[in-house]
Amino acid sequence: MATAYLLMASSTAGQAATTLLGVIEAVGGFIAILVIVFFVAGRATGRLQKPIAVVICLGPALFLVTLGLIIPAITTINNSLKNQQFLGQLDTQYIGFKNYTYAFTDPTTQQTILRTVLWLLIVPAAAVAVGLLVALLVDRMKYSSIPKTMIFLPTAISFVGAAVIWSYVYNYVTPSQPQTGLLSEIVMKLGWSNPPNWLITAPTNTFLEMVIMIWIQAGFAMVVLGAALKAIPDEVIESARLDGAEGFTLFRTVQIPMIRNTLVVVLTTVMITTLKVFDIVFTINNGNFDTDVLARQMYADMFVTSQVSRGSALAVILFLAVTPLVFYNIRQLRRERETR
Amino acid sequence: MKRNTRFATAAAGVVALVAVAGCSSGSGTTAQSSAVPTLTGDCAQYQPYAGHSGSTVTMFGSILSPESDSLNTSWAAFSKCTGIKIQYTGSNTFESDLPVKVNGGNAPNLAIIPQPGLLSQMVQTGTVKKPPADTVANEANWNAAWKGYGSVNGTFYAAPMSANMKSLVWYSPKYFADNGYTVPTTWADMMSLSAKMASKMTGAVKPWCGGIGSGTASGWPATDWLEEAVLGSFGGQVYDDWISHKVTFSSPQIQQAMKIVVDWMQNPAWVNGGYGDVKTIATTTFQNAGLPILKNQCGMLQQASFYEAQWPKGTKVGPDGAVFAFKLPAVNPSIVTPVEGGGEFVTAFASDPATQAVQNYLSSPQWAESRIKVAPGWVSANEKVDQSLYTDPIDKISAKYLADPKATFRFDASDAMPAAVGSGAEWKAMVDWFGSGKSSLDVAKETDAAWPTK
């Protein structure tokens, strides 16, 4: 067998063949193991039957969760307590919580954390507000599918694609030259003769980047909230109208409470996405000009600037920040299912 | 689906390992049993590397096609005569790929590392092998500074491969001639020339242009400007202490150098030719930075020899062409020919005889000459290389200074500093310095704060 590999390894085609053979062997072995396991399980009777079934059904999922989630999480937490700078470094030591102290005391990282909080406060609220507004406006429109499609379309665009599109909108050219950026052109037509260089002017640039995220997420919010609004029974609305509720009062006292659970789920979902924002910031400015956020700095620490432990600490902070939101989100989803 | 493939690849990896193990033991036995063959004719020159026929040496680097094709051509005769196959793979994310490969036990036999900082990292993982005696002997053909950059904690590990010259200023010979400007030979001349140009220019036309945008590496061209100012003002010792952080960014020398850059590349009357104000330097890509020179909108651009590739196809480069370059003069005339450059280092992760034969060959002037003959745009700092082989005017001027034994040669400092600073905090600081108008001291403090603590 080894000689066969040796002969084949001499050429590129041989290497491909070796790899292919390896793949076939691996897949074959995997199937063989499965067949044996199922055969043994099928044979088992009596007292052992139930425990074996539990192990077989739960085993693969548990194995993959351990391999893909639990072990990396433990490794990351472990790394965050060391002074490791790059992959494979030999002389690393445990330095306690110094990386966490650094994250909360280093001025640059402090600003990054604050900026991420700002994202978290503004984007979900704005995206839900826009989504809800559009959902209400088009609810009883004649050709409602057209504006709905237009608003929903950005949701289907990747964050990187969206960032590239918007970077053209925000493009800056010296005012004396012909303008190529839509935003500059518009404000100049409106009479602002000398607009700033949008993407390098802090803090404007951060808000302009948030607009991209809102643009993407509003469509998602609109669709889910629109469905929830439609699901409110007509009798409820009618009886509220008979009681004299109209317009904003109806919206505030009847419609909002009726879709409250959905509202919370949409809000927390957008929050989780926002907390993890990376692509937009990375594509537009690479976190330069005071636009950095937690996920991007974590990436840079881990893979660009060889600060594995500092990056790991940021990853743990991000993880801890997302966890309560995820729990809350799951609980709300459950509750909503129960009420239906 | 993805999980399955990963599992399969892992299994295939195990299989491949078995195959490699079989392979290396096989070649080992042949080397022991058969005597070294005598190479004749055209192949005679490769005799020192003979005796390892049938082995393959894997090589990993950041050089991509078409440059990597030239490399392959340059050692084709060596491979044919010695029977050693060199299998080169290039990656545009080399710097992040190499640590992953090495950490995963999948290191190449040889890696071409462009940053002394990364070399030092790799050595600290304990996987880098010391070079053979012949490579160590060949090292004497380079300016002593090069050996230092190929060494970690005083131990020599990697011999240099190619070199590039950073201390160049690009200009248009025709534009200079038309306006009666002459190429400056001292820093004071260059400053008075800039002032003279500025007094004659109007609108978007300025004496200097620059751009430091470079995707995720934005900021690096500005680190070069600062490095030139440090090396040209204070010489090699301060420069070396700066790399080792004995001299910090906030210390008076570096602050003085930053002042020099502020008066030069952040001078609103002098930049940014063809693009606008000082801030546009932060948003202009380094590739586009010099193009206004061709439109007579910018007088000069400080950029490395490899900028030659950025001129549009058909642009004639040379003393009588559309663009050419002169050597950036020293800020302080008492510093002897300060030359800042970059280059690559051939690092071994294996110590089998075939890998060492390739290592020896690549450190020889013979190979460098073979590479020079393949295509222009490639320079060696090896002092034994025949300078008359260079055909390209920029290669000629670069080689003249890089292989000058008397020059004060220093490697790009940001590449030699720890990555947290040299490819992180300092880049970001430079972008802020130009783009957000932050003060030199604030920028320096930010950079110093990111220096990794032991």
Are the Cβ atoms of A202 and B436 closer than 8 angstroms?
yes
- The pLDDT score that the predictor gives to residue A5 is 43
- Using a CB-CB distance cutoff of 8 angstroms, which residues of chain A are in contact with residue B96? 303-304
Are the Cβ atoms of B8 and A304 closer than 8 angstroms?
no
- The pLDDT score that the predictor gives to residue A251 is 87
Are the Cβ atoms of B424 and A304 closer than 8 angstroms?
yes
User: Which residue would you say has higher pLDDT here, A61 or B21?
Assistant: A61
Residue A134 confidence (pLDDT) above 50: yes
Q: Which of A9, A26, A107 comes nearest B11 by C-beta?
A: A26
Top CATH class, A98-339: mainly alpha
| A196-229 tens-digit pLDDT | 889 888 889 999 999 999 999 999 999 999 999 9
Distances (CA, A) of B340 to A303, A313, B141, B229: 27, 37, 18, 10
Sheet (strand B324-327) strand order: B206-208, B298-302, B168-171, B324-327
Cβ atoms of A127 and A215 within 8 Å: the answer is: no
Enumerate residue ranges in chain B where pLDDT < 70.
1-34, 454
- Using a CB-CB distance cutoff of 8 angstroms, which residues of chain A are in contact with residue B22? 2-3, 5-6
Residue A42 confidence (pLDDT) above 70: yes
Residue A114 confidence (pLDDT) above 80: yes
- Using a CB-CB distance cutoff of 8 angstroms, which residues of chain B are in contact with residue A298? none
- The pLDDT score that the predictor gives to residue B23 is 39
- The pLDDT score that the predictor gives to residue A34 is 83
Question: Cis bond leading into B143, ω under 30°?
Answer: no
Burial B243-265 (b: 16+ CB within 10 A, else e): beeebbbbeebbeebbebbeebb
Are the Cβ atoms of A2 and B22 closer than 8 angstroms?
yes
User: Model pTM?
Assistant: 0.78
- The pLDDT score that the predictor gives to residue A87 is 79
Residue A9 confidence (pLDDT) above 80: no
- Using a CB-CB distance cutoff of 8 angstroms, which residues of chain B are in contact with residue A299? none
Are the Cβ atoms of B121 and A197 closer than 8 angstroms?
no
- Using a CB-CB distance cutoff of 8 angstroms, which residues of chain B are in contact with residue A110? none
Are the Cβ atoms of B218 and A174 closer than 8 angstroms?
no
> Distance from first CA to last CA of chain B, Å, rounded?
43
Calculate the average pLDDT of chain A: 87
CA distance B74 to chain A (A): 21
Per-residue DSSP letters for B45-100? Answer: GGGGG-S-TT-EEEEEES--TTHHHHHHHHTHHHHHHH--EEEEEE-TTHHHHHHH
Tokens 């918007």: give the residue. A166
Q: Which residue segments constitute the domains of chain B, with CATH numbers given?
A: 51-165+342-409 (3.40.190.10), 168-340+412-449 (3.40.190.10)
Could you give the CA distance from residue A132 to residue A115 in angstroms, rounded to a whole number?
26
Which residues are within 8 A (CB) of B395 and not within 5 positions of it... i.e. 6 or more apart?
Answer: B305, B372, B376, B377, B378, B379
The mean pLDDT of A238-243, rounded to a whole number, is 89
User: Which residue would you say has higher pLDDT here, B433 or A304?
Assistant: B433
Q: Which of B13, B19, B215 comes nearest A9 by C-beta?
A: B19
Are the Cβ atoms of A174 and B12 closer than 8 angstroms?
no
> Which residue of A282, A291, A305, A310 is the best one to mutate when testing the B interface, meaning the one whose CB has the most B CBs within 10 A?
A305
Are the Cβ atoms of B419 and A306 closer than 8 angstroms?
yes
Single-letter code of the amino acid located at A308: V
- The pLDDT score that the predictor gives to residue B171 is 96
Residue A291 confidence (pLDDT) above 60: yes
Are the Cβ atoms of A306 and B3 closer than 8 angstroms?
no
- The pLDDT score that the predictor gives to residue A176 is 78
Are the Cβ atoms of A26 and B435 closer than 8 angstroms?
no
- The pLDDT score that the predictor gives to residue A47 is 79
Residue A10 confidence (pLDDT) above 50: no
What are the residue ranges spanned by the domains of chain A? 2-80, 98-339
Burial B344-370 (b: 16+ CB within 10 A, else e): bbbbbbbebbbbbbbbbbbbbebbbbb
The mean pLDDT of A143-164, rounded to a whole number, is 91
Tokens 């010391």: give the residue. B130
Q: Which residue of chain B is at minimal alpha-carbon distance from A284? A: B215
